[in-house]
Structure 1
């Protein structure tokens, strides 16, 4: 299939041949008939690519702060790779389309193959021949609605949600400032709700179009003092509500809105407008200023959009999906009509040129649709990549599942130096092909089973979300593949047992991504310890705050202790040459954060050592991410965030400094390649099981307030 893709760093726009996405549970696979171009939003993305890095930074100061924090924790080299990975990647365009359902995933009951649906969502409803759409982001198109009109349903839902925020009643006067596509749709929605529509724009032709679409009044905004005109048309009151749709750095729309609004009116912003609210004007009128969030409630909520869990209609009447449905119903009933708004139609195959022409403003574009060929490849889930790389014998042949930011910046740059990269599988074809081209894979696919069936691949690297790890490890082992999996190995005892069963049946290499043991500073720290000595270890982790709406916090991902603390348990296992035998954990209630976010985990090890892992998420970002304090054999050792190791002994001290923050990923990939070649596991399998088991039991200990025994017999001797 084909998809339009943008690369910010290269400032390019290309139609790419990509593998067809897999139809997952909770959604449908849709073959696109029309996709609508959001001339304002999408062209702004293209224009942003023209900016220098300095100009981009000025526009997004919060992202600059994140980069500076990353710089503190990871150092300049890793930070540069991370930033460039985001900029130098293909990204999708589009968020509003109509198409035919060609496959239905599990858990979708209200749609069937052959249904026509309007679809929305950036990253889902892309300018692509085939898209996977979660069920809450699509709405069935009623009979009689033109498909071309239906392709604008998501864009129109932005206008609809803005209108709903005004809470307007029949007979009220509602003004729209900015009569682009959203503004013109709003004029019709206002009329359909029994209100009078007033319009303002810097373009007289758009004002004329608004009149033809039913505006009671529309005038070119050559000034901001329209109080007299609006007063004469509203019995001297002013407008009951004002909706701002503009995208400008001028403050004029804000001033105009305040002047034409009546006392206690509502002003709603759905554009990207400079906001410097004039205090005197807004205060004395006691104006109610509001924002409207995209297409409606549910937007940006992964529980609603990704998991498909709807809000009860009695509590949230108008969600983003129900807004789309209302637009489609208004189209069917003839209450709104997009025929005057659709000014251009092009073939999707010409979309590269179309976007550039719109960006250059060659014509007066308003509503623009792309039409797709009826004959579309909907089956191919693998795309071969033209590469100059030669497969070298004696090296591991790697297939990678997952290509998020961590895998792309901290694994694959080093992996390509150590192994032959054969295939890469990700959930989206655009990401799979992007990383395949960037790192030199032979092919990209959206179906990881494609790689497991590839006899050339002998090793699979798994870097997906945590709840997928165990299943993919087992699938890979069952296909006689060596496996490297990012932590955690599993998120439940049942998964650990299943992995143990598969591993013992196949005895292939299994390695978990515990990179810290390969860091130069950690290896130096280990050299300061004596064999067969019981040490006391305090391991403090400044884990950092993660909002509850991020996938990492989702209960189905196992939580933060299972997801991350296994890293630190492994580091202590490595330092002590011992495994955990008992665990007890307590948590600190902190600011409504989940109990796992601030936890003290006490672990006893098989050599008599004890360790406390303080996993704390409510600290300052600039404080050291990791500190280790070790006491024993009349020695104290301080480890500070991979930068320094200080040894206090015999009344003196010595400090070893490391000039680069090295967390061991490069050496880890080298170890993986050697392990495959020699068929020797760098970490014993039992140690991997006990590590993950200890993290799982730490969560249980928090809940039960009991000590938990960490025993290998619980996992493999049933």
Structure 2
């Protein structure tokens, strides 16, 4: 299948041949018939790629802050790789389309193969021949509605949600500032709701179009003082509501809105507009300024969009899906009509040129649709990548599952130097092919079973979301593949048991991504410790706040103790040459954060050492992420975030400094390659099991307030 893709760093737009996405539970696979181009939003993305890095940074200061915080935590080299990976990647365009359902995932009972649906969602309803769409982001197209018109349902839902924010009643006067596509749709929606539409735009032709679409008044905004005209048409009151759709750095729309508004009017912004609210104007009229969030309630909520959990209609009448339904119903009833708004239609195969022409402004583009061929490949899950490099018999042959930011910046850049990269699988074809080309894989796929069946691959690297790890580890072991899996190994005791069973049966090499033990600073720290000495260690982790709506915080991912604290348990196992034998954990409740995000975990080790991991997510971003205080053998040692190791001994002080923050990923990939060749795992399977078991029991301890033995006999035999 083909998909339109943008690369910001290379400032390119290409039509890519990609593997067809897999139909997952909770959604449907849709073959596109038409996709609508959001001329304002999508062309702005193309134009942003023309900017210098400095100009991009100036436009997004919050992202600059995030980069600076990452610099503090990871150092300059890793931060640079992370930023460049994001810029030098293919990204999708589009978010509104119509198509035919060709496959239905588990948990979807309101759609069937052959249904025609309108779909929405950035990253889902892409300009692509086939897309996976979660069930709450698509809805049936009623009989009699033109599929071309229906392809604008999501874009029109942005206008609908903006109108709903005005809380308008029949007979009210509603103004629209900005008569582009959204503005023209708004004019029709306003009329359909029994209100009078007033329009303003810098283009007289768009004002004329608004009149033909039913606007009561529309005039070119050659000035920002229309009080007299609006007053004469509204019994001297002014407009009850004003909706701003413009994308401009001028403050004129804000001033115009304030002047034509009646006392206590509502002003709703659905554009990207400079906002410098004139105090006198807005204060004396007590104006109510509001934002409208995209297509409606549910937008940006992963529980609604990804998991398909709807809001009860009695509590949230108009979700983004129900807004789409209302647009389609208005089209069916003839209350709105997009035929005058669709100014251009292009073949999807000509979309590269079409987008560049739109960007250049060669014509007056308003409503633009891409039409797709009926003959589309809907089955191919693998795309081969040209590669002249010979496969070396002395190196491991690797297949990678998952290519998020961590894997792309901290694993694959080093892995490609150590092994033959054969296949890569990700949930989206665009990411799979992007990383396949970037790192030299021989094929990209959306189905990881392709690689499990590939005899040329002897090792699978798993870097997906946490709740997928154990299942994929078992699948790979059962296919006699060596496995490297990012932490955690598993998120539940039944998963650990399943892994134990498969590992015992196959005896393949299994390695977990505990990279810290390969860091130069951690290896140096280990040299300062004596064998068979009981140490007391305080390990403080400034974990950083993660919002509740991020996937990492989803309960189904196991939580941050299981997902990350296993890292620090392994570091202690490495330093002490010992395994946990007992664990107790307690948490500090912090409002707005999961219980385990601020946790003290007390662990006793098999050599008699006692350690406390203070995993705290409520600290300042600029504070060092990891520190250790180690006491024992009449010695004190301070470890400061991979930068310095200070040893206090015999009345003297010695300090070892390291040039950069190195958390060991490069060396870890080298160890992986060597381990595959030798067949000897760097960490024993028993230590890997007890590590995960300890983290899982730590979460249990938070809830029960009990100590737990971490003996594997209990895990294996119960």
TM bucket normalised to smaller: over 0.9
Once the two structures are superposed, residues 527-549 of structure 1 have per-residue CA deviations (whole angstroms, 9 ceiling, x without a partner) of 00000111001000000000000
Alpha-carbon separation, structure 2, partners of 1:380 and 1:363? 37
What is the match of residue 265 of structure 1?
265
The SS at the match of 2:16 is strand
How many Å apart are 1:717 and its aligned residue? 3.1
Q: 8 Å contact 1:7–1:88 — kept in the other structure?
A: yes
Alpha-carbon separation, structure 2, partners of 1:649 and 1:387? 56
How many Å apart are 1:394 and its aligned residue? 1.4
Matched, 1:529 2:519: no
How many Å apart are 1:391 and its aligned residue? 0.7
The SS at the match of 2:32 is strand
What is the match of residue 119 of structure 1?
119
Larger displacement relative to structure 2 (389-398 or 484-493): 389-398
Task: Give the TM-score normalised by the residue count of structure 2.
Answer: 1.00
Q: Which runs of 5+ in 1 are unaligned?
A: none
Q: Give the alignment of 1:294-443 within 5 angstroms.
A: 294-443=294-443
Larger displacement relative to structure 2 (582-591 or 56-65): 582-591
Alpha-carbon separation, structure 2, partners of 1:90 and 1:588? 42
The SS at the match of 1:81 is helix
Alpha-carbon separation, structure 1, partners of 2:214 and 2:438? 52
Q: Give the alignment of 1:670-709 within 5 angstroms.
A: 670-709=670-709
The SS at the match of 1:85 is helix
Q: 8 Å contact 1:33–1:99 — kept in the other structure?
A: yes
How many Å apart are 1:594 and its aligned residue? 1.4
What is the match of residue 136 of structure 2?
136
What is the match of residue 575 of structure 1?
575
Matched, 1:617 2:617: yes
Count of matched residue positions in the alignment of Structure 1 and Structure 2: 718
Q: 8 Å contact 1:501–1:716 — kept in the other structure?
A: no
Alpha-carbon separation, structure 2, partners of 1:594 and 1:412? 32
Once the two structures are superposed, residues 78-97 of structure 1 have per-residue CA deviations (whole angstroms, 9 ceiling, x without a partner) of 11100000000000000000
The SS at the match of 2:4 is strand
Larger displacement relative to structure 2 (667-676 or 591-600): 591-600
How many Å apart are 1:716 and its aligned residue? 2.3
The SS at the match of 2:700 is helix
Alpha-carbon separation, structure 2, partners of 1:25 and 1:184? 37
The SS at the match of 2:25 is coil
Q: Which runs of 5+ in 2 are unaligned?
A: none
What is the match of residue 157 of structure 2?
157
Once the two structures are superposed, residues 229-265 of structure 1 have per-residue CA deviations (whole angstroms, 9 ceiling, x without a partner) of 0000000000000000000000000000000000000
How many Å apart are 1:593 and its aligned residue? 1.7
Once the two structures are superposed, residues 189-211 of structure 1 have per-residue CA deviations (whole angstroms, 9 ceiling, x without a partner) of 00000000000000000000000
Alpha-carbon separation, structure 2, partners of 1:562 and 1:141? 44
Q: 8 Å contact 1:226–1:259 — kept in the other structure?
A: yes
Matched, 1:11 2:36: no
Alpha-carbon separation, structure 2, partners of 1:627 and 1:291? 43
Q: Could you list the structure 1 runs, at least 4 aligned residues long, displaced by more than 6 angstroms after superposition.
A: none
How many Å apart are 1:73 and its aligned residue? 1.0
Alpha-carbon separation, structure 2, partners of 1:60 and 1:647? 43
Alpha-carbon separation, structure 2, partners of 1:267 and 1:471? 51
What is the match of residue 663 of structure 2?
663
The SS at the match of 1:264 is strand
Alpha-carbon separation, structure 1, partners of 2:717 and 2:504? 12
What is the match of residue 222 of structure 1?
222
How many Å apart are 1:595 and its aligned residue? 1.2
User: RMSD over aligned Cα, in angstroms?
Assistant: 0.5
Once the two structures are superposed, residues 128-186 of structure 1 have per-residue CA deviations (whole angstroms, 9 ceiling, x without a partner) of 00000000000100000000000000000000000000000000000000000000000
What is the match of residue 593 of structure 1?
593
Once the two structures are superposed, residues 63-104 of structure 1 have per-residue CA deviations (whole angstroms, 9 ceiling, x without a partner) of 001111111111111111000000000000000000000000
What is the match of residue 256 of structure 1?
256
The SS at the match of 1:293 is coil
What is the match of residue 53 of structure 1?
53
Alpha-carbon separation, structure 2, partners of 1:10 and 1:603? 50
How many Å apart are 1:590 and its aligned residue? 2.1
Alpha-carbon separation, structure 2, partners of 1:307 and 1:487? 23
What is the match of residue 27 of structure 2?
27
Once the two structures are superposed, residues 290-325 of structure 1 have per-residue CA deviations (whole angstroms, 9 ceiling, x without a partner) of 000000000000000000000000000000000000
What is the match of residue 541 of structure 2?
541
The SS at the match of 1:268 is strand
Alpha-carbon separation, structure 2, partners of 1:591 and 1:663? 31
The SS at the match of 1:267 is strand
Q: Give the alignment of 1:561-572 within 5 angstroms.
A: 561-572=561-572
What is the match of residue 100 of structure 1?
100
Alpha-carbon separation, structure 1, partners of 2:497 and 2:14? 47
Alpha-carbon separation, structure 2, partners of 1:437 and 1:178? 42
Alpha-carbon separation, structure 2, partners of 1:430 and 1:591? 38
How many Å apart are 1:592 and its aligned residue? 3.2
Once the two structures are superposed, residues 597-627 of structure 1 have per-residue CA deviations (whole angstroms, 9 ceiling, x without a partner) of 1100000000000000000001111111000
The SS at the match of 1:344 is strand
The SS at the match of 1:714 is helix
Alpha-carbon separation, structure 2, partners of 1:589 and 1:427? 35
How many Å apart are 1:715 and its aligned residue? 2.4
Alpha-carbon separation, structure 2, partners of 1:714 and 1:385? 48
Alpha-carbon separation, structure 1, partners of 2:590 and 2:220? 54
What is the match of residue 604 of structure 1?
604
What is the match of residue 479 of structure 1?
479
